[in-house]
Amino acid sequence: MGVVSPESVGFSSERLSRVNKFMQGYIDKGKLASGLTMLARRGEVFHFEPYGVLDLDSGAPVERDTIFRFYSMTKPITSVAVMMLYEEGCFALDDPVGKFIPELASMKVYDGMGETGMRLVEQRQPITVRHLLTHTSGLSYGFHQDSPVEEMYRKANITPPDGTLQEMVEKLGRLPLVTQPGMKWRYSFATDVLGYLVEVVSGVSFDRFLKDRIFMPLGMPDTSFYAPEEKLHRLATVYGASANGGIAPLHNDLVDRHARAHTLFSGGGGLVSTASDYMRFCRMLLNGGVLGDARLLAPKTVEMMRSNHLTEDMRPFAVGQSNASDTKGCGFGLGFRVVMDIAQHGIIGSNGIYSWGGAASTVFWIDPQEELIAILLTQFMPSSHYALRREFQIATYQALME
């Protein structure tokens, strides 16, 4: 992939070097093992820099084709798959999901604690496809501490690597919703449910649908639900903070599933990919649903996806246990966070930026106003530990001169 000069697309090379400086600083201080940043404007890549090593023990350097766990950066891809089926007339956004997934049709809703335990009430309105796309379904992830339903999630083992999406929705269907559908934003297994919706509606397994309808047409050969054996040497190791102040490799189901074949294809967090592959996906979105000869979506569909769908009382919203400071001035579309008020947001950029990040501190954003795409990849958990995403955005935009 060719890389043009920053000046040719309106950036200052001198000021852009601050991206390299801040990323290399994390590596040099032992806070990160690996990193990669990639920027493109007006269809041209003008910055593509690897940092550090795939694995501290092996010392193998990060390359441009290094494979990273993308976790929740899978969600926009799943959302695109859903909207492709929406365009084909398979469902309306406000169709009840129970029409296609009966297991979710009659879930009860948590309504506080009573004398004999949890109070459960009926849904005031059914969960819809739009609710799933906007994380307003009432489902959750199980990592909050504000409801006894969360503990039920943690005990249910909802997405074991060798399970299936059908088994996942059966487990979810036996749990209460945390809130009434359509009332609050809450990060959840909603996008995993959408992966199963794709299976049900298309009649094709979710992994096959993504490969045949998105990855192959866009030219994304390294994007899949796990790194096959012949590519394992390119898969970066995930690290977390160690007791001695350094970093240590992490090993658990959430991490190790991406290094072997498995059967639960998580639409919410299952994909591994490369910067180049994901850049092609982002270019398709920035181009209004098309890349080269591959037309996945219509421009108006992409426009609706990157529009805010949340009511004012749902904003700002918080991901996990963090506060909502990162989402000030933002709404949420059909699969993305959307910047609505850049002044309130407080991080330089543009109104209309849409973006999302992954659990291992990855992030991407697309700025239609500036025709700019940005990708930051690393493998460190939790993603809230460092201010990487904010620092990357500031370092990028302070180098934009025209």
The tokens of 65 are what? 């084709």
Q: Which pLDDT does position 318 carry in this prediction?
A: 86
Tell me what the pLDDT averaged over the chain comes to. Answer: 96
The tokens of 256 are what? 């190790």
Alpha-carbon gap, residue 21 to 32, rounded angstroms: 14
Residue 245 — very low, low, confident or very high, per pLDDT cuts 50/70/90? Answer: confident
Q: Which pLDDT does position 321 carry in this prediction?
A: 59
Which string of DSSP letters, residue by residue, matches 227-291? Answer: --GGGGGGBPPPEEE-TTSSEEE--SHHHHGGGS--S---TTT--EE-HHHHHHHHHHHHTTSEE
20: number of Cβ within 10 Å: 15
Nearest residue to 282 (alpha-carbon basis) of 109, 112, 18, 43: 43
Q: Is residue 65 within 8 Å of 276, Cβ to Cβ?
A: yes
Mean pLDDT of 342-359: 97
Pairing between strand 109-114 and 239-241? unpaired
* Least confident residue range of 12-21, 34-43, 114-123: 114-123
Instruction: List, for residues 197-230, the tens digit of each pLDDT value.
Output: 999 999 999 999 999 999 999 999 999 999 999 9
Q: Is residue 237 within 8 Å of 249, Cβ to Cβ?
A: yes
Indicate whether 155 pLDDT > 70: yes
What residues have CB less than 8 Å from 210, skipping those under 6 apart? 77, 81
As to burial, measured by CB atoms within 10 angstroms (0-12 exposed, 13-18 middle, 19+ buried), residue 315 is middle
pTM of the model: 0.97
